[in-house]
Amino acid sequence: MAGLSRIHTFFLGGLALWALITWCIAAGLVNKYRGHYDSANAVLAWGIISWLWYLVYLGILLFVSTTTWATAIIVEIAVGFFLFVFGIAAVGSTSSAADAFRWWGGSLGSLGQATLAFGWILVIAQLAYIVFLIVYLAKGHGFAQQTLRTSFHDLSEYGSGAGTGGGVVEKPTELSTVPAPAPVTATV
């Protein structure tokens, strides 16, 4: 299953790159408006928060450990859902000026249209990422607490319980097979 782990890592890298591009384009739009266009500021904030999250997550995943709480699949889904909802709100509010961007033309209109295009593509990519994680869990591992605490890498490599100390379960010893303690005799 190393292929799924690699796909997951490349997906995160692609999301980080796309969030950076979206952030840069939104920064250009905010600069054109001199910071007075709140919807563009929201896209700017969403882009930088998304980019930072993906960078931090990839850094922890690649250089620290796959067994920390920050790489748990439930954290991935929760933060991914937050970023998705934030993105819908930010890009959706900017979309209210889509007609004005087409009407203005020039660099202002082009930056507005580019911000919308890159923003909506990032929203769709974030939704695809969340769906990818949920479908992978539903098809192969379920939604048990132990599974949700495992990172995607450990889950795809080793299965449920990896990284949480629950990978190998020992068979409990029956009481009848435990030898009784030897009697203590006191001699003085």
Q: Could you tell me which of 143, 163, 152 has the C-alpha nearest to residue 12?
A: 152
The torsion region of residue 135 among left (phi > 0), alpha (psi -120 to 50) and beta comes to alpha
Domain range for 50 is 10-151
Q: Per-residue pLDDT for 1 more than 50?
A: no
What pLDDT sits at residue 107?
66
Residue-wise pLDDT tens digits, 89-140: 999 988 887 777 777 767 667 888 899 999 999 999 999 999 998 998 888 7
Q: Is residue 135 part of a domain?
A: yes
Q: Which pLDDT belongs to residue 96?
A: 82
CA-wise closest residue to 54 among 87, 24, 81, 20 = 20
Residues 37 and 167: their CA atoms lie apart, in Å, by 52
Residue 39's pLDDT is what? 81
Residue 164 lies in a domain: no
Mind listing the pLDDT tens digit for each residue in 30-89?
Answer: 888 776 677 888 999 999 999 999 999 888 877 777 777 777 888 889 999 999 999 999
Radius of gyration of the chain (CA): 25
Instruction: Output the six-digit token pair for 6.
Output: 């690699």
Largest distance between two CA atoms of the chain:
106
Would you say residue 103 lies in a domain?
yes
In the block, which residue shows the tokens 């900017």?
94
Q: What is the pTM of this model?
A: 0.75
156 located within any domain: no
Q: Are 44 and 30 in contact (CB under 8 A)?
A: yes
**Does residue 178 lie in a domain region?**
no
Is residue 21 in a domain? yes
Number of structural domains in the chain: 1
Tell which phi-psi region holds residue 83, choosing left (phi > 0), alpha (psi between -120 and 50) or beta.
alpha
In a domain, 160, yes or no: no
Nearest-5° Cα angle at 67, 170 to 1: 80
Can you tell me the distance from the alpha carbon of 148 to that of 126, in angstroms, rounded to the nearest whole number?
Answer: 19
Residue 48 in any domain: the answer is yes
pLDDT confidence of residue 21: 95
